[in-house]
A and B are shown apart, each in its own frame.
Chain A
């Protein structure tokens, strides 16, 4: 009976380069002259949901940010190693970050809608890309909002200010905004930490739905959420990747003592 809900889950070691959505090789990152990530190598599988767990300050967000080079915004940032998305090295000198970020979408912890209408928020990325055709924009907005399960709530007030939406709606709007660019990868940085349980559930459902078309990496502090939502999970501690495996094994029979301590709440 449970077969119905199961998806085909490969064991981590079997993930080939072709099946990897993001391939991180020996990544070291320093922020403000402090080493934050220490020799991380991880293959994040394509079109699956991967959760990053670990206590605050262990480098989850930094790892997430290195996938779309958001770390570059920190002026004292330095990094070593490679991050491969498809057949391109993200940290290649020729890589254009703006272009990269259209393909690697990101949703932040707190919703940060622009002070514009809902419509303008969703098509912001497309407009930046130079898309001017009204019809294309209209279609993209509708699709993105539908994918983010927000369409029914805002269809009548697309041109109202996005700041008038509730917190959960705003967070879904943020997801829609990222989806409007049709990214290959969607990075979610604790997307539900500021939301109530019911809205959280909404967004979790949404995330499972989205995994059909894109690779999702989610950072979360909520063990239950990580267990519920993700196909794979990685546990990090003080800048090191301690354990990475499919969620079932990680949450039921972790290989390392540290992981077990963390998920059972003995520290962190």
Chain B
């Protein structure tokens, strides 16, 4: 009886410990997702602009506007605690903090991503310079018209003219030939016209007064958005949130990656992962097929297997260094001397770029793909292979028609794992081609459309870089968190797709599914 009780106690202890471990794990996972989600979501929610006044005992006064997701009282509280720490031994010097929230403060964003906080003084048009905000819509409509006029002149008249002149010059036409002269005249005429539109546009401005009383004039043409952050209705808030999300997904980073969006990073990540998959999927699957179907069952094969498992354990930065040394310098360097001799000494492929990054990541994820593909192949019952052989199929036909379709869930799992890993990797990418800011996307309208030698942006690298930014400035750190959230969402979506596809394939190919 005693033994029985002891046995039961042991059983329940084991159960309790395993549940505890599981629970701790889940708490951490959940906390991570919630933390990243909240911090990231903050970036998109509209935040108030407070005017903060610091009055120092030496009758110095400082006043400025600050964007914050905190309320006025919370912000004041935060300043108090900060100053108490800062002036720990000179309590007398602690400044007075007062935080006000004024309804008429505007938050203006320019096309360059600059944020300007202040109060609107006047709006100016060529006719009048004492307009107020009620005329804003009219003025904006006028500037829009002028802008489209300017764009049309530039794209339909000036550009073709410029090209014509260029072709004529290339054909060695004499400088003073009548054809060229006429083109030049036309060009300068239209350029004068477009300049005049430019000047007209510049006359439409909005004038803000910032907290120090300084005036700041912004041409309406370069204004992207203007909002009253302290006077938002519910629907305005929703609108702003969504427009911020759209901007985040569709724009390029501006102002040193503190505003704008992360589109190039998303694009670069997806493109790099796609290229990597193109490389790694066939190689990995063929290697797995060799290992499982063809390789003799001997020591060499065992050694190869051990080697592959070890490859999976090599630190990723080592792959990065290898990629830099082998792909970039050796392979890229020789490619340059062979094919791009004209451009030397400036390198074409002999510098970190998209192709080398994809190849390096392919190498890094190859073991993952091989191991899980082999696992997938191993799951297929030997009986099915025998059945296929017994019907006169050769080995190749058996693999093609029976083994591979049935193993497809396993193969897919490996590829998705590889993709998820590559999407989140940072260290090797920094070495072989991912950069903080790449002005050009690797794909554009110029021949050969896909520029494999270009450097690119990557979400992981972007986050890594963002983590070094000033954490007190709530906007920038939130942008990093927003990118984190985006990366999480992308990886989750990938995994969910994998699960769904795998389930479908399993339903199709596995036994006893009724």
A-side residues, CB < 8 A to B, are: 68, 70, 73, 75, 98-102, 105-106, 108, 110, 112-115, 124-125, 128-129, 161, 163-164, 174, 177-178, 181
Assembly CA distance A164 to B391 (angstroms): 21
Assembly CA distance A110 to B402 (angstroms): 17
B322 CB-CB contact with A under 8 Å: no
Is the pair A101, B392 in contact by a Cβ cutoff of 8 Å?
A: yes
Is the pair A112, B405 in contact by a Cβ cutoff of 8 Å?
A: no
Assembly CA distance A106 to B388 (angstroms): 10
Is the pair B391, A128 in contact by a Cβ cutoff of 8 Å?
A: yes
Residue of A nearest to B398 (CB): A128
Is the pair B389, A101 in contact by a Cβ cutoff of 8 Å?
A: yes
Assembly CA distance A108 to B385 (angstroms): 12
By a CB distance below 8 angstroms, the chain A residues around B402 are: 114
Assembly CA distance A128 to B385 (angstroms): 14
By a CB distance below 8 angstroms, the chain B residues around A112 are: 381, 383-384, 386-387
Assembly CA distance A124 to B388 (angstroms): 8
By a CB distance below 8 angstroms, the chain B residues around A164 are: 514
Is the pair A128, B389 in contact by a Cβ cutoff of 8 Å?
A: no
Is the pair A114, B387 in contact by a Cβ cutoff of 8 Å?
A: yes
Can you spell out 9 A-B residue pairs with CB atoms less than 8 angstroms apart?
A: A70-B389, A73-B385, A99-B392, A101-B389, A114-B387, A115-B508, A115-B510, A124-B393, A125-B392
B296 CB-CB contact with A under 8 Å: yes
Is the pair A115, B511 in contact by a Cβ cutoff of 8 Å?
A: yes
Is the pair A110, B391 in contact by a Cβ cutoff of 8 Å?
A: no
Is the pair A70, B390 in contact by a Cβ cutoff of 8 Å?
A: yes
Would A108 and B386 be within 8 Å (CB), given that A115-B406, A164-B514 are in contact? yes
Assembly CA distance A171 to B385 (angstroms): 16
Would A177 and B391 be within 8 Å (CB), given that A75-B297, A115-B508, A128-B401 are in contact? yes
By a CB distance below 8 angstroms, the chain B residues around A70 are: 386, 389-390
Is the pair A108, B387 in contact by a Cβ cutoff of 8 Å?
A: yes
Assembly CA distance A164 to B514 (angstroms): 6
Q: 4 additional contacts, CB 8 Å, given A115-B405, A124-B393? A: A70-B389, A101-B390, A102-B392, A112-B387
Identify the 9 closest CB pairs spanning chains A and B, nearest first.
Answer: A102-B392, A125-B391, A112-B383, A115-B509, A106-B390, A112-B387, A101-B392, A98-B394, A128-B393
- In chain B, positions 184-221 with a C-beta closer than 8 Å to chain A are none
Is the pair A129, B392 in contact by a Cβ cutoff of 8 Å?
A: yes
Would A181 and B391 be within 8 Å (CB), given that A112-B383, A115-B509, A163-B511 are in contact? yes
Assembly CA distance A112 to B385 (angstroms): 9
Assembly CA distance A28 to B512 (angstroms): 40
User: How close is A119's CB to chain B, nearest CB, in angstroms?
Assistant: 15
User: How close is A16's CB to chain B, nearest CB, in angstroms?
Assistant: 29
Interface size on B, residues (CB 8 A): 27
The prevalent SS among residues of B at the interface is helix
B-side residues, CB < 8 A to A, are: 296-297, 381, 383-394, 397, 401-402, 405-406, 508-514
Is the pair B393, A98 in contact by a Cβ cutoff of 8 Å?
A: yes
By a CB distance below 8 angstroms, the chain B residues around A178 are: 390-391
By a CB distance below 8 angstroms, the chain A residues around B512 are: 163
Assembly CA distance A75 to B293 (angstroms): 11
By a CB distance below 8 angstroms, the chain A residues around B513 are: 163
Residue of B nearest to A109 (CB): B383
Residue of A nearest to B506 (CB): A115
Is the pair B405, A110 in contact by a Cβ cutoff of 8 Å?
A: no
Assembly CA distance A163 to B513 (angstroms): 8
User: How close is B49's CB to chain A, nearest CB, in angstroms?
Assistant: 63
Residue of A nearest to B297 (CB): A75
- B387, B388, B389, B392: the one within 8 Å of A181 (CB): B392
Assembly CA distance A100 to B390 (angstroms): 9
Assembly CA distance A142 to B513 (angstroms): 26
Residue of B nearest to A69 (CB): B389
By a CB distance below 8 angstroms, the chain B residues around A125 are: 391-393
By a CB distance below 8 angstroms, the chain B residues around A163 are: 510-513
Would A124 and B401 be within 8 Å (CB), given that A163-B513, A181-B392 are in contact? yes
Assembly CA distance A73 to B197 (angstroms): 83
User: How close is A145's CB to chain B, nearest CB, in angstroms?
Assistant: 16
By a CB distance below 8 angstroms, the chain A residues around B508 are: 115, 161
By a CB distance below 8 angstroms, the chain A residues around B394 are: 98
Is the pair B383, A73 in contact by a Cβ cutoff of 8 Å?
A: no
By a CB distance below 8 angstroms, the chain A residues around B389 are: 70, 73, 98, 101
By a CB distance below 8 angstroms, the chain B residues around A124 are: 388, 391, 393, 401
Is the pair B390, A114 in contact by a Cβ cutoff of 8 Å?
A: no
User: How close is A48's CB to chain B, nearest CB, in angstroms?
Assistant: 22
Residue of B nearest to A163 (CB): B511
By a CB distance below 8 angstroms, the chain B residues around A113 are: 387
Assembly CA distance A106 to B402 (angstroms): 17
Would A68 and B388 be within 8 Å (CB), given that A75-B296, A115-B508, A163-B512 are in contact? no
User: How close is B198's CB to chain A, nearest CB, in angstroms?
Assistant: 69
Is the pair B297, A114 in contact by a Cβ cutoff of 8 Å?
A: no
Residue of A nearest to B298 (CB): A75
By a CB distance below 8 angstroms, the chain B residues around A174 are: 387
Is the pair A101, B383 in contact by a Cβ cutoff of 8 Å?
A: no
Is the pair A68, B296 in contact by a Cβ cutoff of 8 Å?
A: no
User: How close is B285's CB to chain A, nearest CB, in angstroms?
Assistant: 19
Is the pair B393, A68 in contact by a Cβ cutoff of 8 Å?
A: no
By a CB distance below 8 angstroms, the chain B residues around A73 are: 385-386, 389
By a CB distance below 8 angstroms, the chain B residues around A101 are: 389-392
Would A128 and B384 be within 8 Å (CB), given that A178-B390, A178-B391 are in contact? no
By a CB distance below 8 angstroms, the chain B residues around A128 are: 391-393, 397, 401
By a CB distance below 8 angstroms, the chain A residues around B297 are: 75
Residue of B nearest to A161 (CB): B508
Assembly CA distance A144 to B170 (angstroms): 76
Residue of B nearest to A187 (CB): B390
By a CB distance below 8 angstroms, the chain A residues around B511 are: 115, 163
